[in-house]
């Protein structure tokens, strides 16, 4: 069954929803399985183990996000090629991307294993959770090649307009992940290494599933084993778009590591509350981000076909629908926030810290939406450098400055949380202004 969406003709609103909602569901489902990791260790091992897992979130993001950003380059290049009807370039992009994922994953595995203790030391992880944090990170890194492979394979399907197949892959592997969590931690009495092993195994299953689908696909994105190789011209184009996006998200992670260091200085209770809240707030973020990615792909295909009017309409529709759906998710989580936080840990102080984070983060999402959809619009044209620079200065710069100044004067959790609406509001406004100024050429770049 062909799950590809025709983005070049007909109505847009229904097709954007057909693309964005499965993509959001993929992210939300993935986070549910990640939340299962935290919930299992929080309830069966303790809040120290929960804090150890949470303290690795920003570090793992730093290691992974550069290559996930590069996978956005794959998405855009394939979208442009489909818009132009260039079958040869599609094939080159597919095979080049698979190899980049595998080699990149091996590289991160080696670097991460070598630097794991040093990185955790730099973030100020408390002594009582340090050994468990190192153990979790080392085991998690073993799955890095298949984690990147899944993300690049998903980008290939997204560039074609298919977000359902990656969702199916994740659903199957995610169920296995939850089952393995219980087996490793509850039955075999493992600690954080058990949930990390479950994550690595489940990612292996999802990446193999998508590889099989690409290998047997009847569409233009089919893998042909004799054609495996890296095409330098296509790789250059992927990197031109993907590296700025990857640097942008990696710098976000660096800023978040600094924020996590500040959170770590407030003790295990605040760390646990922040970790629990993150595992809830990310559900809303995946909804928010799905429309930004939809904007990238719809704009990318229509730009490749020279249909600039449909590019603008796609941007407006993604912007409006994002507010509706993300707002609904945020409200739902806030209404049931205390009960949801208790799933991870029922300590009242942990719940109080977690709910405080949720309130500030969801207010900040008002502005994060401007940044995500606006950046997605510009990347659809291949203009990845502009949003990267704006986000680097507006988000990362302001967050680092805030922690170094305001938090040092008033070292409270509330002070840390204020940085999110301030940094995202500034960045989102500049992104929207840049869209009004920049006029993409009608000629495909």
Global confidence as pTM: 0.78
The answer to whether residue 444 scores a pLDDT higher than 70 is no
Q: Which two tokens stand for residue 405?
A: 């100044």
Dist CA 98 CA 238 (whole Å)? 12
* Mean pLDDT over the full length of the chain: 86
Q: What is the rounded end-to-end Cα distance, in angstroms, of the chain?
A: 33
Q: Which two tokens stand for residue 79?
A: 């979208």
Sign of CA dihedral 380, 381, 382, 386: negative
- 444 inside domain: no
- Please give the average per-residue pLDDT across 254-281, as a whole number: 86
Rounded to whole angstroms, the maximal C-alpha distance in the chain is 61
Q: What is the pLDDT of residues 291-328, one digit of tens each?
A: 998 999 899 889 988 888 999 999 999 999 999 999 99
- 197 inside domain: yes
- 328 inside domain: yes
Q: What is the pLDDT of residues 84-113, one digit of tens each?
A: 888 888 889 899 999 999 998 898 889 888
Confidence (pLDDT) at 3: 62
Q: Alpha carbon of 268 to those of 51, 194, 256, 384, 387: distances in Å?
A: 6, 21, 17, 38, 36
The answer to whether residue 336 scores a pLDDT higher than 90 is yes
**Minimal CA–CA distance to 280: which of 352, 322, 330?**
330
Q: What is the pLDDT of residues 152-204, one digit of tens each?
A: 999 898 888 888 898 899 888 888 988 998 899 888 888 888 888 998 999 89
- Please give the average per-residue pLDDT across 221-235, as a whole number: 86
Confidence at 347, pLDDT banded by 50, 70, 90: confident
Q: Residue 197: which domain range?
A: 13-437
- 8 inside domain: no
Return left, alpha or beta for 306; rule: phi > 0 is left, psi -120 to 50 is alpha, else beta. Answer: left
Dist CA 27 CA 8 (whole Å)? 26
Confidence (pLDDT) at 445: 43
Return left, alpha or beta for 189; rule: phi > 0 is left, psi -120 to 50 is alpha, else beta. Answer: left
- 104 inside domain: yes
- 251 inside domain: yes
45 burial type by CB count under 10 A (0-12 exposed, 13-18 middle, 19+ buried) = buried
- 34 inside domain: yes
Q: Phi and psi of 308, rounded to 5°?
A: -70, -30
How many residues appear in the chain?
445
Confidence at 441, pLDDT banded by 50, 70, 90: low
Dist CA 272 CA 53 (whole Å)? 9
- 3 inside domain: no
Confidence (pLDDT) at 298: 92
Q: How many domains does the chain have?
A: 1
**Under 8 Å between Cβ of 275 and 50:** yes
Dist CA 77 CA 303 (whole Å)? 11
Q: What is the pLDDT of residues 23-73, one digit of tens each?
A: 888 888 877 777 777 778 777 787 778 778 877 776 777 777 777 788 888
Confidence (pLDDT) at 216: 87
């Amino acid at each position: 069954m062909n799950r590809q969406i025709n983005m070049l003709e007909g109505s847009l609103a229904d097709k954007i929803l057909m693309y964005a909602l499965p993509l959001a569901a993929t992210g939300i489902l993935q986070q549910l399985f990640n939340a299962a990791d935290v919930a299992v260790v929080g309830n069966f091992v303790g809040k120290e183990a929960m804090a150890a897992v949470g303290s690795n979130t920003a570090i793992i993001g730093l290691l992974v996000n550069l290559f996930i950003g590069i996978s956005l380059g794959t998405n855009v290049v394939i979208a442009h090629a489909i818009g132009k009807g260039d079958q040869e370039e599609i094939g080159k992009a597919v095979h080049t991307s698979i190899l980049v994922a595998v080699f990149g994953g091996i590289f991160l595995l080696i670097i991460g294993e070598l630097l794991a203790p040093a990185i955790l030391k730099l973030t100020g992880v408390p002594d009582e959770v340090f050994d468990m944090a190192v153990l979790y990170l080392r085991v998690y890194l073993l799955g890095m090649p298949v984690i990147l492979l899944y993300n690049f394979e998903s980008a290939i399907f997204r560039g074609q307009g298919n977000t359902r197949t990656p969702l199916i892959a994740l659903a199957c592997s995610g169920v296995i992940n939850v089952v393995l969590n219980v087996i490793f931690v509850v039955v075999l009495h493992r600690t954080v290494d058990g949930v990390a092993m479950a994550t690595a195994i489940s990612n292996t299953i999802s990446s193999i599933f998508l590889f099989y689908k690409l290998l047997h696909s009847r569409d233009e994105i089919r893998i042909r084993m004799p054609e495996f190789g890296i095409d330098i011209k296509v790789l250059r184009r992927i990197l031109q778009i993907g590296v700025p996006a990857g640097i942008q998200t990696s710098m976000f992670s660096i800023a978040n590591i600094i924020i996590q260091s500040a959170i770590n200085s407030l003790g295990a209770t605040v760390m646990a509350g922040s970790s629990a809240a993150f595992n809830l707030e990310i559900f809303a973020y995946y909804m928010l981000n799905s429309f930004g990615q939809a904007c990238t792909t719809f704009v990318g295909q229509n730009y490749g076909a020279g249909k600039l009017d449909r590019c603008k309409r796609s941007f407006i529709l993604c912007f409006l629908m994002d507010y509706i759906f993300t707002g609904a998710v945020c409200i739902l989580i806030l209404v049931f926030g205390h009960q949801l936080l208790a799933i991870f840990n029922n300590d009242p102080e942990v719940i109080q810290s977690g709910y405080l984070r949720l309130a500030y983060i969801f207010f900040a999402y008002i502005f994060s939406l401007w940044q995500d959809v606006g950046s997605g619009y510009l990347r659809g044209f291949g203009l990845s450098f502009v949003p990267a620079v704006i986000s680097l200065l507006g988000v990362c710069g302001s967050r680092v400055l805030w922690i170094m100044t305001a938090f040092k004067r008033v070292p409270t959790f509330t002070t840390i949380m204020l940085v999110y609406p301030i940094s995202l509001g500034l960045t989102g406004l500049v992104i929207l202004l840049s869209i009004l100024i920049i006029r993409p050429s009608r000629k495909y770049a």
